[in-house]
Structure formats: C-alpha cells, structure tokens
Chain A
C-alpha cells in the first residue's frame, strides 16, 4: 500500500524534523527540570520568536536563521522581568499558582499578538525553504537539514553552558536540591530567573525555525506546547540530550503515523504517546537531570 520510498522519505524527514522539535522543547525541559515549573506560556514564547524573526526579515532583510541567537536573547531578556515580578513571588503558594500565571500570560500574549499582528497566518519566506535535498534515493527538504544542524548546534551550546560554566553548575545544583544549593551559597533566585530566560530564548530560537519551515498564527503555540511536553516526558525532564533523543523519536513516530494513518494523526500520536509514557513512567524514558 504505502511504498517503501514514501516511508523512507517520511522517516528521514521525521528524523530531521524531530531534531528541530527537540530545540523547541529544550526550554520547557530545562525550566521543568530546574524550577519544577510547568511553563504553559512556552508555546507563546515560541511564537514570539517567530514574530520577531518575521518582522526582522521584513524590516531589515536579514535572514532570521543567522540571527537566531540575537532573537533568542531578545525574548530571553523580555522573559526575565516576567519571571522576576510575576512568577518568583508565587513560589510560596505552591506549584499551581505559577503554572496558572503562565497560563494567564499565555492567553494575554496570544491575544496581544492578535490585536497587534492580526490572526493572519504568517510565514518567514525564504527561498531555501522550498528546495529538496536528495540523499541518494531519499529526498528531504533542504531546510530541514539546516534546521537540524542548527538545532543540534544550539543544544550542544546549551549543554556546554550547563556542564562547564559556573552558571551551569549552579543550575544543576538548584535542580537537584534548591535548599542545599542555597546553603552552599548559590543564588537560587538568580539561577531560576536566568533559567527561565534561557528557556524562553531556546523557545524563541525554535519558534523562528518553525516560522521559516512552516507557518504560524498567534494560536499555533498551543499545538507545539503539547508536542513539546511529549518530548520532554520522553526524554526526561531537564535531560538535555534526552530531549534531543526524545524529539527525534517523536519526529519519526509522527511521520510514520502520518504516512500510515494520515497527516491529521501526527499530533494525536504524539499526545497518545505522551499520555502513555506519563502514565507508565512519568519521570521520562531516560534519567532526569540529576546526571
């Protein structure tokens, strides 16, 4: 029924796409792992990055794909005060209050996007986004390869930050035991603020890539939020390489579902997988970021 060629193309594309999705999920994973915060505004941070990339291209003609880091920095910087003033004071109320607040932030931002940018579907138009790449008998979109390479690059950078810098050491300490970390002199509040900003920056970078490869509307964030949750759960909260593996795994599974059942089932497969893993092994298939 379904030809081998179609399956091969799908799996290859899914592999690469999964790597890109992993970048979008990275921020969520870090924030969840370090701050135990379910950031329901993660999706809008993604879209915020996409809008910044879109308007950057419009205004200056600069290709957002080379400006990913600055875009991430911009959104990360914007996210800092959000964490400081809205989320930090709520930590004493238990884990639900910050989550609800991120929820409120998500709907406020989404509707501000609609108000200022309209609900129209946008896409960051780049010529290389519509060109195939032939690797032997298999063809994948060229832009997927770009996106994959960039995503892996960013993931490696973040891993380097977390493993080899002093900030990274503080971050890991706060993740394992905030109390103990504070006791040995780590400014946990600062770590949380910067972690949140880093999460937002990663989301924005991932969102820009999504904006180039696909299209987006103010409401697109919600879909990616759920897919990203699936990846985080698959890969283990806070486990950076786990997120990459989880993303690739999800990408391949989604593509297989798309080719056998129909593209409409992609997201559904992701959700079902998410629920299954959550029910059976909530800490993720791989170990969390204690390692």
Chain B
C-alpha cells in the first residue's frame, strides 16, 4: 500500500505539472488569438503616467492625445491603402515606472497591434518606451522629454521628440535677470534631482551658465527622485545666503522643497523650479507659497500659433480644470504622427517613419521640423506663478504680466 502512495504521489505531481502547463498553453493561445486586431482600424498606442508622482503630467497628456485622435476621427479618419480608416488610441497607465512603460509598450505593439506609438513623459519613462519601440522598429513620436537627455539615450531611428532644449530652459532665468536688471547678491544654490534631466540641467548647464554670467554657485546638491526630506540641503543653502535658488525636481518634490524652505525660514529673492512647478497641482498644493515661483514654459494660450487659445478654452470647458502647457505639446505630437500616417498613406512602419522625418508644419506649439537627431525644438519663455495662475514674464515681448521680484 505504501508503494502505491509513493509512486502515485510522484505521478500525481507530474500530472499536475503537465495539466497546468497545458492550461497555460491554452490560455496563452487564447490570449493571443482573442486579441487579433480589427483590420479596419489604425491602432496607436500610448503608455503614460496616469498615476504615481507624475500623474499630473499624465492627465494632460491623455487629453492632448485623445483630442487629436478624436478630431481626426470626426473628420472621417485617415486614408490608408486607399481606404478611410478610423484611429483607435489605446492608452495604458505606466504608473510612473519605467519598467511598466517598457512592458506596456511591448504589449501595445505585440498584443494590441499598435502600428505607431505616442510617448510617455519625462526622460526615464520616455526613454524606456522609446527603446522598446526602437527595438520593435515601430515609430514613436513623443513630447515631454527634453532634447539633450533624449539624444543622450540612443541614436534614434524610429523615435522622434518635440520639446524644449535644456540650454534654452537653463539660460532663460539668466537672460531674464539681465533684461530686468534684477539686483541680487549673485549667489546661486542649485538643487536638482539626479535623474537624466536633473543631471543635465542642474549638474552641467546651470553651473556653466552661472560662471559665464558672473554668478557664484555656492551650492550644488542633488537628490534622488523619491526623496521627501530636504532639510539638510535647505539648511545649507540658507546658511550660504544664496539669493537665487534654481531647482529641478518633479512636482511632489517641488512642493516639498518649497514648503520646507518656508518652514526653514529661507526666503531667496528668485526661485526657479523647473518641471515640478509646471502642472496646476503645484499651485493647488502650495496656495500662497507658489507666488513668485518661476518656471520655464514652452507654450501658453497667448502664443500666436494656430488654435492655441482655442485649445486652452476647450480644455477648460471640457474638464473644468485650469489648462496647462502639457496639453499643447502632446496634442501637437499626436497630430504630427497622424499627419505622417496620412502622408504615408500606409500603416507600414518605415513609410510612416519616413513621413515623420519630412514633417515641416506649424502646429499649436509652433513650427515643428525634426533635425538629424530626430529632435524638434520648441521656443522657451519664462513663466511665473501669480495669484494661482501661470503668467509669462519673459521675454518682454510675449509677457502677459509684470515680473514679480523679489519672490514674496
């Protein structure tokens, strides 16, 4: 009897293993077969941060991408291979995790049949998704990724980026100070995250520009993307007495730094917070403390480009929220892709890719034309938070409000 049990258990285990593997195989086939794409739709995929620390950016991206696709569909779709087809936009949440961006992109291309992709936001996520698209030879158009960090990742063949150039972003505050003749003690404290754009802007460009313009960098501190306590850094900045503080951080950290500066009693005259101070959530979280904070901007409804003002109005009436510049670059990126597909008249990756390369049109963000590094530069202005809204203060020609100095 014992003999029976022992042998039985061995076979049972093997049987279980076999059974489960069969089930696994069936399920896998089921998954793939069940997701055969509808051949009369153009599938475009996008993996964006709808949750996590960058959720603020993600929600605007979603709106921008969707609007462009909805507009094209309302016009009847795009003519491909002689037939007019509707566009299906599949959006996945990558939870601000580059690993998820990569696997989402993989799934969108492999399982959902995306013939082109739209990018995520901020270099870690954008690069992760673009690498996958590049590997699969699928064109991907992205915004929301500063050009230098985009170029540094890879010599792209299938990925295209339209956004600002870090040197422009970094030099804006300096140019502003010169133009307005702002008097400070010329001491700068640089606080930057140690991600790709933090390292480029905070670690290299800002210090270089400071030296060029006769400023002294009394402190240059970096911190990880998930840091929440900045007391030591702020204590040092305060003790060094820097009048100007240049910060590069994502929104949650930007909010934390601003609040902790206040509770440390540190009141510099000029506060520049790149990236983090862009979304509306920054102003909402800080209330009065956001007053006077400056941030680089690449778009504003007041820009003289086709559809700019209408875009902001549409956003505000549809979502009942304050508009942000992120609706524009993503809207434009999606349009660039859709125009390229229409120009190519095909869903073949290489044809679309070639068409993107030939892009030369003015969109809501301005003229878009990609250079040999697959990047298109957007113009830079300096904005400032005033009364819970972002207004342009520089260049004076584009200004929509007067520059508030020193920061309250």
Known contacts A215-B256, A220-B228, A264-B227, A125 near B263 by CB under 8 Å: no
| A144-194 with Cβ < 8 A to chain B | 144
Contact B256 A259 (CB under 8 A): no
Min distance, Cβ A131 to any Cβ of chain B, angstroms: 6
Partner of B224, one of A3, A5, A121, A264: A264
Q: Does the CB pair A13–B231 fall under 8 Å?
A: yes
Q: Is the CB of B232 within 8 A of A255?
A: yes
For chain A, residues 235 to 291, give those with C-beta under 8 angstroms from any C-beta of chain B. Answer: 255, 257-259, 262-264, 266
- A263: chain B residues within 8 A (beta carbon): 221, 223, 227, 229-233
Secondary structure class of chain A's binding surface, majority of residues = helix
Q: Which of B51-59, B298-306, B389-397 contacts A (4 or more CB under 8 A)?
A: B51-59
What per-residue 1/0 map shows which CB atoms of B327-345 lie under 8 Å from chain A?
0000000000000000000
Residues of B within 8 A of A264 (CB): 194, 222-224, 227
The interface-forming segment of B3-11, B60-68, B84-92, B235-243 is: B235-243
Beyond A121-B255, A264-B194, is A214–B235 a contact (Cβ under 8 Å)? no
Classify the secondary structure of B's interface with A.
helix
Q: How far is the CA of A17 from the CA of B264 in the complex (A)?
A: 14
Residues of A within 8 A of B375 (CB): none
Specify which chain B residues have a CB less than 8 angstroms from the CB of A17 in the assembled complex: 229, 231
The proximity string for A residues 112-133 relative to B, scoring 1 for CB distances below 8 Å and 0 otherwise, is: 0010001111010100011110
CA distance in complex: A3, B189 (Å): 15
How many angstroms from the CA of A161 to the CA of B240 in the assembled complex?
A: 47
The smallest C-beta distance from A118 to any residue of chain B, in angstroms, reads 6
Chain A interface residue count: which class? 35 or more
CB pair B263–A123 under 8 Å, yes or no, is: no
Within 8 A of B (CB), among A83-142: 114, 118-121, 123, 125, 129-132, 134, 139, 141-142
- Distance between Cα atoms of A223 and B228 in the complex (Å): 10
Establish whether residues A120 and B239, one from each chain, have CB atoms under 8 Å apart when the complex forms. Answer: no
Q: A125-B287, A130-B289, A132-B263 are in contact. Are A215 and B222 (CB under 8 A)?
A: no
Question: Shortest Cβ distance from B3 into chain A, in angstroms?
Answer: 31
Residues of B within 8 A of A121 (CB): 53, 251-252, 255
Residues of the A chain whose Cβ atoms lie less than 8 Å from the Cβ of B221: 262-263
Whether, in the assembled complex, A143 has its beta carbon less than 8 Å from a beta carbon of chain B, the answer is yes
Bound CA span A223–B238, Å: 27
Interface string of A1-43 (1 = CB under 8 A from B): 0110110011001100100000000000000000000000000
Q: Does A217 contact B (CB under 8 A)?
A: yes
Question: Smallest CB-CB separation from A257: which chain B residue?
Answer: B232
A250→B332 CA distance, assembly (Å): 50
Q: Is B95 an interface residue (CB 8 A)?
A: yes
Q: Which residues of A contact B222 (CB under 8 A)?
A: 262, 264
User: Chain A contacts of B287 at CB under 8 A?
Assistant: 125
Q: Residue B76 at the A interface, CB < 8 A?
A: no
Distance of A100 Cα from B228 Cα, bound (Å): 28
Give the CA-CA distance A131 to B263 in the complex, in Å: 4
Shortest beta-carbon distance from A46 to chain B in Å: 13
Is B51 a contact of A258 with CB atoms below 8 Å?
no
Q: Which of B222, B236, B259, B260 has the most CB atoms of chain A within a 10 A radius of its CB?
A: B236
Q: Which of B229, B230, B262, B265 contacts A134 (CB 8 A)?
A: B265
Closest to A2 in B: B236
- Kindly identify which residue among A125, A132, A139, A262 contacts B285, using a CB–CB cutoff of 8 Å: A125
Nearest neighbor of A4 in chain B, beta-carbon distance: B239
Chain A residues lying within 8 Å of B228, measured Cβ to Cβ, are 214-215, 220
Contacting residues, chain B, for A2 (C-beta < 8 A) = 236
CA distance A18 to B13 in the complex (A): 53
Do B265 and A255 have beta carbons less than 8 Å apart? no
Task: Give the docked Cα–Cα distance between A180 and B388 (Å).
Answer: 64
B47 contacts A by Cβ under 8 Å: no
CB distance from A151 to the nearest CB of B (A): 16
| Most chain A beta carbons < 10 A, residue from B235, B251, B281 | B235
Q: Are A6 and B265 closer than 8 Å at their CB atoms?
A: no
Taking a contact as CB atoms under 8 Å apart, the answer to whether B255 and A255 are in contact is no
A266 shortest CB reach to chain B, Å: 6
For the complex, what is the distance from the CA of A130 to the CA of B264, rounded to whole Å?
8
> Which of B51, B96, B233, B265 is in CB contact (< 8 Å) with A139?
B265
Question: Quick one: given A141-B264, A255-B231, are A119 and B95 in contact (CB under 8 Å)?
Answer: yes
Contacts of B239 in A (CB 8 A): 3, 5-6, 9
Q: Knowing A5-B239, A263-B221 are in contact, say whether A142-B263 is a contact too (CB < 8 A).
A: yes
Which residues of B have CB within 8 Å of A220?
A: 228
Complex CA distance for A134 and B238, rounded to whole angstroms: 14
Chain A CB within 10 Å, residue with most, of B55, B255, B265? B265
9 tightest CB-CB pairs across the interface, nearest first?
A258-B232, A132-B265, A141-B263, A121-B252, A130-B262, A119-B51, A259-B232, A6-B239, A9-B235
22 example contacts (A-B, Cβ-Cβ < 8 A) are as follows A3-B239, A5-B238, A6-B236, A9-B264, A114-B51, A119-B55, A121-B255, A123-B256, A129-B259, A129-B263, A130-B262, A131-B262, A132-B264, A139-B264, A141-B260, A217-B53, A255-B232, A258-B232, A258-B233, A259-B236, A264-B194, A264-B222
What is B's interface to A at a CB cutoff of 8 Å?
Answer: 51-53, 55-56, 95-96, 194, 221-224, 226-233, 235-236, 238-240, 251-252, 255-256, 259-260, 262-265, 281, 285, 287, 289
Since A121-B255, A214-B228 are in contact, a sample of 4 more A-B pairs with Cβ atoms closer than 8 Å, ordered by chain A residue number, is A9-B231, A123-B255, A217-B252, A258-B232
